[in-house]
Amino acid sequence: MKHFNSEVEAAESLFEAYNQLKSEIGKVIIGQDEVVKLLLTALFCQGHSLLVGVPGLAKTLLIKTISEALHLTYSRIQFTPDLMPSDILGAETLDNQRNFKFIKGPIFANIILADEINRTPPKTQAALLECMQEYSVTIAGIHHILEKPFFVLATQNPIEQEGTYPLPEAQLDRFMFNILLDYPNYEQEVEIVKRTTVQNTTEVQKVISKDEILLYQQLVKKVPVADNVVEYAVKLVQKTRPGLPKTPEISNTYLEWGAGPRASQFLVNGAKCTALLKGKFSPDIEDIQEVAIPTLRHRLLRNFKAEAEGISVDDLIKKLL
């Protein structure tokens, strides 16, 4: 395990490790630099991420590649309409001596890929709530602690597709970021096809250990933030809440409800990590703005007027910024 003589040394080490991680992931994943940056930001902030995109955009491959570049245990759970909570958490079974024994489910790993999370009914989706917030599982009244770092990366197909269940608001709020994956551009797609239609297999080297990740997570918490940056984050979140005295007209007109205090916390934490990944030692307002859209887009609910006029949540956040 690494030991750092100062926080400056730790920050420099994180900056270096991030660039190494990017180059290792880039061996397999073409483009998607912003997506990779947001996923690693969430990891260093002890947050979870939701990746949304149509099938075939390498969401699952991206998460698997990140897990290969980290010295962490990895578990993939395929969410289907018949998946039960016990299939995720584990269950008590009788052993040969007729005693109850707890068999751990796939949730007991460091990185959890919740694949197509919105293909399963809300009852099973809710099995993740305690894990994501409390880092624990309660089965038959017994508390089981999950090993840290614990990181849920969920993929989701667009809600408009067949056979999907919308995620409950309480579940959505536990995700730090909602990251949209778009189609690759022409040059990227040509490169993807060239790389994936030959027999070559690319080896991804492990870059960061479990202990280092825990150290970097502690480092992010220690980053100093100026009052004006915190105030900017809180004001931005408050602007999304319709009906308050200082709420702008755009939020009152187009939003049903806005983001809660967890959004302010994630904005500040995300800005701290964004600053470190740029080689800075303290965040500014630009760093808040950089993480604002993925932090807020799943916490705002548009009203009927916004839907009728074709105004997206991202449009509203850009106007509030």
Report the CATH number that the domain containing residue 278 is assigned in CATH. 1.10.8.80
Q: What is the pLDDT of residue 160?
A: 58
Q: Cα 143 to the chain's mean position, in Å?
A: 25
The answer to the question of residue 2 being in a domain is: no
Q: Domain end: 181, 212, 243, which one? A: 212
Contacts of 213 (CB under 8 A, 6+ apart): 43, 44, 70, 72, 149
Q: Domain end: 182, 212, 242, which one? A: 212
Number of domains into which the chain is organized: 2
- Regarding whether 196 and 67 lie in a shared domain, the answer is yes
The overall average pLDDT reported for the chain is 86
Q: What is the pLDDT of residue 3?
A: 62
Residues 62 and 68 sit within 8 Å (Cβ to Cβ): no
Q: What is the pLDDT of residue 30?
A: 81
The answer to the question of residue 219 being in a domain is: no
Q: What is the pLDDT of residue 5?
A: 63
Sequence letter at residue 305: K
Exposed / middle / buried, residue 294 (Cβ in 10 Å: 0-12, 13-18, 19+): buried
- Regarding whether 133 and 88 lie in a shared domain, the answer is yes
Which residues does the chain have with pLDDT short of 50? none
- Regarding whether 148 and 80 lie in a shared domain, the answer is yes
The answer to the question of residue 1 being in a domain is: no
- Residues 37-67, buried b or exposed e (16+ Cβ, 10 A)? bbbbbbbbbbbbbbbbbeeebbbbebbbbbb
Sequence letter at residue 292: A
- Regarding whether 270 and 170 lie in a shared domain, the answer is no
- Regarding whether 232 and 205 lie in a shared domain, the answer is no
175-180 and 301-302 strand pairing: unpaired
**In this structure, what is the dihedral angle of CA atoms 132, 155, 29, 110, given to the nearest 10 degrees?**
20
- Regarding whether 198 and 141 lie in a shared domain, the answer is yes
Q: Domain end: 164, 186, 212, which one? A: 212
Closest CA to 156 of 11, 61, 78, 53: 53
Exposed / middle / buried, residue 118 (Cβ in 10 Å: 0-12, 13-18, 19+): buried
pTM to 2 decimal places: 0.88
Domain extent for 251: 224-320
Q: What is the pLDDT of residue 2?
A: 60
> The tokens 């579940």 sit on which residue?
171
- Regarding whether 228 and 121 lie in a shared domain, the answer is no
Report the CATH number that the domain containing residue 101 is assigned in CATH. 3.40.50.300
Helix (H) or strand (E) holding 8: helix 7-26
- Regarding whether 244 and 205 lie in a shared domain, the answer is no
- Regarding whether 95 and 63 lie in a shared domain, the answer is yes
